[in-house]
Structure 1
């Protein structure tokens, strides 16, 4: 009887372990499905506000051709770099998303382009993936964790976290300073949908005040890769330099419990400085050591002590 009980227990443990491993692989495949060649439609509109006198902003609509390339594929870490293909001769290194499994380390946005390091309990992130989003200059943007679900043939993930103002408003508005992002990702037959319920928040020492709520839809629809020939060629020449940029940022984030970034110094935006260094690196064939030394020097004026 004891032997039978032991066999049943071990069989149950093996079944649970196999299920967990299968779920992990399902998660990985869903994340990897975010990569590809897309036409993206951006749609945002404010829908509610607590102040009845509030004047809603004009709905935002835009579109672009975007290539999302997997640049790191590890069992519990997947990194996807996005590139905007403007035309046959212009490409912009766009945002980056790092996916990490059961990650207990976060950089949480506070306000005014500042982040603080936070530790999450293993229980809170068990079976969950963290999406760490970075800006075009590879500085942090926002990080949130959630569970991938695979029900009825649908792959979906959701999370809620604070972030800086979206780029579409960061240079035109100053009536709020934190965007609380409610993000949902759904994999579709055509690509994927990035749906958002965002709260525009005024954060002060006295607490948070809600200004308005907006709905957002970013629809990624697969298109032929031919439109991205120049972008692929450009990235092939630049990817070594940007790997060194990521390494410098990783060192900065690992050694600072708080981080504040000044986006503009001496009339230059941070991404302009790093992009210029990238072109110079390719032209002059800098080594990894040279890249990292020059990137550190370029970043220094933008890191607020």
Structure 2
């Protein structure tokens, strides 16, 4: 009887391990299915406010061509870069999303351009993937952790994360300071969908909700040739952005609170880093020198006692 029990336990263990392996493989496939050349539509609309005399803002809608591709892919980490193509020839480095398996290290947004390190217990993230979303300058934006779900022919991932104001509003509004984002990424027949149910919040001692917002962003696959100009652009610029990521990674490894100034010399950070990109790539590129100059720029924007190593 004891031998039978041990055998059953072994069988259950093997079956569980196989199921976990298949589940992770399905997760990876779903993440990689976000890659490709896409016609993208961005749609946002405020839907409800608990404030009686609140004046709803106009709906936001835009569209474009976007190239999504893996910068890095390893067993437990997939880095996807987005490039926006404007007018068939102009390339704008867009947002980046990193996917980490069973990750315990998060930077969570507080308010006032401040992110605080949050360490999780391994048991909390078992089988989960963290999505870390970064600004166009590869600085922090928001992070959430959850499990990919594969059921009834659907694959989706959803979580809630605090975030700063979106770029479409951060220079236009000051009536709220935190967006509580409920993000859902679903792989579809046409490509994928980024669905959002967002709360616009005034954060002081407590949170005051001023409005709900619905986001519906569709990524519809199109022929890869339309995005070749973006692939070519990245081939010329990837070395610089690898160094930018390395500098940010050094900062995040400190696990200290990160606070970033909105403007220095009346310029936001991405403007300075984009200008430095053009300057450095116009000459013989030296990675060590580049990282030093990148650190000088980012250091100016750190509104804290943190000091980047200039070695």
Equivalences for residues 33-48 of structure 1 within 5 A:
33-48=33-48
* CA distance, structure 2, for counterparts of residue 175 and residue 67 of structure 1: 34
Q: Which residue of 1 aligns with 2:273?
A: 274
Q: Which residue of 1 aligns with 2:171?
A: 171
Q: Which residue of 2 aligns with 1:143?
A: 143
Q: Which residue of 2 aligns with 1:238?
A: 237
> 1:131-188 CA distances to partner (integer Å, 9 max, x unpaired)?
0000000000000011100001110100001000011100100000000000111100
Q: Report how many aligned residue pairs link the two structures.
A: 304
> 1:197-240 CA distances to partner (integer Å, 9 max, x unpaired)?
00000001x21100000000000000112222221111100001
* CA distance, structure 2, for counterparts of residue 207 and residue 7 of structure 1: 55
TM-score by length of 1: 0.98
Q: Does 1:5 align with 2:5?
A: yes
> 1:238-288 CA distances to partner (integer Å, 9 max, x unpaired)?
001100100000001111410111132102221111111112222112221
Equivalences for residues 172-191 of structure 1 within 5 A:
172-191=172-191
> 1:81-129 CA distances to partner (integer Å, 9 max, x unpaired)?
0000112331011000000011111000000111000111112111111
Q: Which residue of 2 aligns with 1:299?
A: 298
Alpha-carbon offset, residue 2 of structure 1: 2.2
Alpha-carbon offset, residue 58 of structure 1: 0.4
Q: Which residue of 1 aligns with 2:128?
A: 128
* CA distance, structure 2, for counterparts of residue 22 and residue 60 of structure 1: 40
Q: Which residue of 2 aligns with 1:20?
A: 20
Q: Which SS does the other structure have where 2:8 is aligned? A: helix
Q: Which residue of 1 aligns with 2:282?
A: 283
TM-score by length of 2: 0.96
* CA distance, structure 2, for counterparts of residue 35 and residue 225 of structure 1: 10
Q: Which residue of 2 aligns with 1:247?
A: 246
Q: Which SS does the other structure have where 1:284 is aligned? A: coil
* RMSD of equivalent CA atoms: 1.0
* CA distance, structure 1, for counterparts of residue 297 and residue 8 of structure 2: 61
Q: Does 1:30 align with 2:27?
A: no
Alpha-carbon offset, residue 4 of structure 1: 2.2
Distance 1:14 1:256, change over 3 A: closer
* CA distance, structure 2, for counterparts of residue 77 and residue 253 of structure 1: 16
* CA distance, structure 2, for counterparts of residue 248 and residue 179 of structure 1: 27
Runs (5+) with no aligned partner, structure 1:
none
* CA distance, structure 1, for counterparts of residue 244 and residue 97 of structure 2: 15
* CA distance, structure 1, for counterparts of residue 87 and residue 231 of structure 2: 12
Q: Which SS does the other structure have where 1:240 is aligned? A: helix
Runs (5+) with no aligned partner, structure 2:
305-311
